[in-house]
Chains A and B, each alone.
Chain A
Amino acid sequence: MLENPHWLDHPKTPRNLWVLLIAVLLVLLAAEGLTSDHHQGTISSYGFYIWFGFLIGLGSIVLSKVYKAILKREDTYYDD
């Protein structure tokens, strides 16, 4: 018997989730104008948390990929 497909399995779901993500990002971008951060210096500059989050996120992933490419070994490397 075939199982009922979950709503997350619907073919349109990935596209809808992307739309939702972009909408949330746009709202957060717009919300920047609402904040009056009590911090000073770079971290209070416009959109700091946006570019910082994005760049650190991307940088961490790329760094981990480079790191793994250099230091990866077979799963059974220590099994002797």
Chain B
Amino acid sequence: MISVLLHPGLVMVLLGLSLFWVQGSLRSIALLTGPVIALWFVWLVPDSIVLSLPFMEWQLEPFEGDKLSRLFATVFSVMAFAGNLYALRQNKTLELIAANVYIGFALGVVFAGDLITVFIFWELMALASTAVIFSACTERARKAGMRYLLVHLLGGVVLMAGIAGEVSQTGSVDFVPMLPDTLPRMLILAGLILNTGAPPFSSWVSDSYPEASFSGMVFLSAFTTKTAVYTLARGFAGAEVLMFIGIYMIFYGIIYGLCENNVRKMLSYSIVNQVGFMVTAIGIGTELAINGAVAHAFAHIIYKALLIMAVGSVLYVTGKRRFTEYGGLFRTMPVTAICCIIGGLSISAFPLTSGFVAKAMMSEAAYSQGLMIVWYMLAAGTVGVFLDVGIKLQYFVFFGADSKQRPPEPPINMRLGMILFAVFCVAIGVFPQQFYNFLPYAQDYRPYTLDHVVTQFQLLMFSGAAFFIFLKYCGWKLVETITIDIDWFWRRPGKYLLLSLVGNTGHARDKAYRVFLVGADSTMMALRYLHGPRGSMARAMPTGRAVFWAVVMLAAYLLFYYLII
């Protein structure tokens, strides 16, 4: 039986913590070897419970493996390697510590066999990922990190409430497939799905991720949303509500992405868009759909990281982040441009790329279930993301109007990180059957048929033509604006309402305090007047005066007595 010390998450957490002390070239060696060791450990995990612990009246299973968890853990480890390679020159050690610990916790969720362990690692992930955002060390990052943390803590509370209800109803903490048919399960689903960027809190992705450093966002893009996809695939496959939520996410990401001027914010919207595909497929729930969702998650982590590495490289060498500040960068950044284009082709599901072989399964699953509306939505989503990331991003950053900037290529480690993932994108697209062998369910799906290739090219090329026709005849004016999102409700009216409540409460409190002070003051003055050093009650009296008053009192008493009797 494998020892618990061989938990891949533990390797990543220890790697992260070791960075407090390890420096120089040893740090680079640690950053590159740690994920390789974690990957090795991932493939040692058997299809069974590795660790079982008694906790109160339950039996926890904090380390359990199967094909699904190993697949996610594999891509997480690969991502950790490429991310660390890309970030080798990151001088903010805190970011690297937080990022590697964060990956360790994500692996903790992936190998968790019970709901309590899921919850613990879930919350630890939220804290570690917030530290990744904070480590950009800017005021904007600090504020965005706080908003990110608040949303995730809210999700954590909802998740905990759901888990507590589920455990009390069923008496079991096992993380098993379920449907949102009871209130606790609905709460569990709500807590999990918040991390995918689902409505109404979709904006947390585009609000926080772009504020991380050039390398921080590479890490952030891969783990939180995809860990949520993993938990949904394991726990809520076939929950119909996920189809509606997923389709909303697809179009939310497309429309906001097309509006956006901040390049990394646009890529954040496209994370929501792509995760929407996965959520929809999980809602369909068949074996082909789950395979499609999982394959898409795997492919997405790689091509999205590649895209974020490419725009991170542009940010790194130019210090700029908006479309309005870019243009014509292909002249001096050809490697970055080519890698970005490969990422763009992959996310758009062009044949011979990873996106094509992954997305096809989800569409086929919708068709085979007779879900034609869903099929149309997935096809439209593919068109939309091609316009967004496949064309708009590439055109306005690397081509388009020349910004006259001639920045150099990024350092070699950043280029190698991009090249590695560009190769992966193409390799998965060219050898799909080898990739399919790793999926949770056995299948005989063949993506490369003449029909499929031709129709996919038709879909993409004619939508691309629509973009360039629009560009030529209507123009595409880039402006330095933002597009407000649902978070406007709590960042503007919500904020003012809260401030006003706090303000009014403050006024009432001040008033009460003033009344209290005046009352207390008067009481003290009265006491002082009567009992103070010169107060009549505390004053020393001559004996004669005391006798006089005693006689007066006695006389008054006698008079009173006679009058009554």
CB nearest to A36 among chain B residues: B451
Nearest chain A CB to B23's CB is how many angstroms away? Answer: 37
A37 touches B462 (CB 8 A): no
B461 touches A60 (CB 8 A): no
A32 touches B372 (CB 8 A): no
B460 touches A61 (CB 8 A): no
B480 touches A75 (CB 8 A): yes
| Contact flag A28-B451 (CB < 8 Å), given A57-B466, A67-B259 | no
CA distance A17 to B468 in the complex (A): 11
B387 touches A60 (CB 8 A): yes
B450 touches A34 (CB 8 A): yes
Write the B472-490 contact mask toward A (1 if CB under 8 angstroms, else 0): 0000000111111000000
Write the B369-401 contact mask toward A (1 if CB under 8 angstroms, else 0): 000100100011001101100000000000100
B455 touches A58 (CB 8 A): no
CB nearest to B262 among chain A residues: A75
| Contact flag A21-B482 (CB < 8 Å), given A50-B458, A57-B383, A61-B470 | no
Q: Which residues from chain B contact A53 at a C-beta distance below 8 Å?
A: 383, 458-463, 466
A35 touches B462 (CB 8 A): no
CB contact between B491 and one of A37, A54, A63, A78 (< 8 Å): that residue: A78
Q: Is residue A19 within 8 Å, beta carbon to beta carbon, of the partner chain? A: no
A75 touches B261 (CB 8 A): yes
B468 touches A21 (CB 8 A): yes
Nearest chain A CB to B488's CB is how many angstroms away? Answer: 8
CB nearest to B140 among chain A residues: A79
Nearest chain A CB to B294's CB is how many angstroms away? Answer: 24
CA distance A58 to B387 in the complex (A): 10
Nearest chain A CB to B49's CB is how many angstroms away? Answer: 43
Q: Which residues from chain A contact B380 at a C-beta distance below 8 Å?
A: 52, 56, 60
B463 touches A57 (CB 8 A): yes
Nearest chain A CB to B473's CB is how many angstroms away? Answer: 11
| Contact flag A54-B466 (CB < 8 Å), given A49-B458, A73-B484 | yes
Q: Interface extent on A, as a size class?
A: 35 or more
Nearest chain B CB to A58's CB is how many angstroms away? Answer: 4
Q: Is residue A72 within 8 Å, beta carbon to beta carbon, of the partner chain? A: yes
Nearest chain B CB to A72's CB is how many angstroms away? Answer: 4
| Contact flag A54-B462 (CB < 8 Å), given A35-B455, A60-B255, A67-B483 | yes
CB contact between B459 and one of A52, A67, A73, A78 (< 8 Å): that residue: A52
B461 touches A61 (CB 8 A): no
Write the B433-456 contact mask toward A (1 if CB under 8 angstroms, else 0): 000000000000000001100111
Residue from B454, B460, B480 with most neighbouring chain A CB atoms (10 Å):
B454
Q: Is residue A31 within 8 Å, beta carbon to beta carbon, of the partner chain? A: yes
CA distance A39 to B456 in the complex (A): 14
| Contact flag A71-B483 (CB < 8 Å), given A25-B465, A60-B383, A61-B467 | yes
Interface of chain B: mostly helix, strand, loop or mixed: helix
| Contact flag A52-B482 (CB < 8 Å), given A39-B367, A60-B384, A60-B387 | no
Q: Is residue B234 within 8 Å, beta carbon to beta carbon, of the partner chain? A: no
B259 touches A21 (CB 8 A): no
Q: Which residues from chain A contact B259 at a C-beta distance below 8 Å?
A: 64, 67-68, 71-72
Q: Is residue B464 within 8 Å, beta carbon to beta carbon, of the partner chain? A: yes
B372 touches A41 (CB 8 A): yes
Write the A23-57 contact mask toward B (1 if CB under 8 angstroms, else 0): 01100100110111111010100001111111111
| Contact flag A43-B375 (CB < 8 Å), given A49-B462, A52-B459, A54-B462 | yes
A49 touches B455 (CB 8 A): yes
A34 touches B462 (CB 8 A): no
CA distance A73 to B511 in the complex (A): 39
Among B397-441, those with CB < 8 Å from A are 399, 406
CB contact between B451 and one of A38, A61, A75 (< 8 Å): that residue: A38
Nearest chain A CB to B354's CB is how many angstroms away? Answer: 21
CA distance A49 to B363 in the complex (A): 14
| Contact flag A63-B255 (CB < 8 Å), given A54-B463, A56-B380, A56-B383 | yes
CA distance A68 to B367 in the complex (A): 33
Q: Which residues from chain B contact A43 at a C-beta distance below 8 Å?
A: 367, 372, 375
Q: Which residues from chain A contact B67 at a C-beta distance below 8 Å?
A: none
A71 touches B462 (CB 8 A): no
Q: Is residue A1 within 8 Å, beta carbon to beta carbon, of the partner chain? A: no
CA distance A80 to B295 in the complex (A): 43
A→B interface (CB under 8 Å): 3, 6, 8, 18, 21, 24-25, 28, 31-32, 34-39, 41, 43, 48-58, 60-61, 63-64, 67-68, 71-75, 77-78
List 9 A–B pairs whose Cβ atoms lie within 8 Å, in order of A's numbering. A28-B462, A43-B372, A53-B463, A53-B466, A54-B463, A57-B467, A58-B466, A74-B481, A75-B261
B→A interface (CB under 8 Å): 254-255, 258-259, 261, 330-331, 367, 372, 375, 379-380, 383-384, 386-387, 399, 406, 450-451, 454-470, 479-484, 491
Q: Which 5 A-B pairs have the closest CB atoms?
A: A57-B463, A57-B466, A64-B258, A53-B462, A49-B458
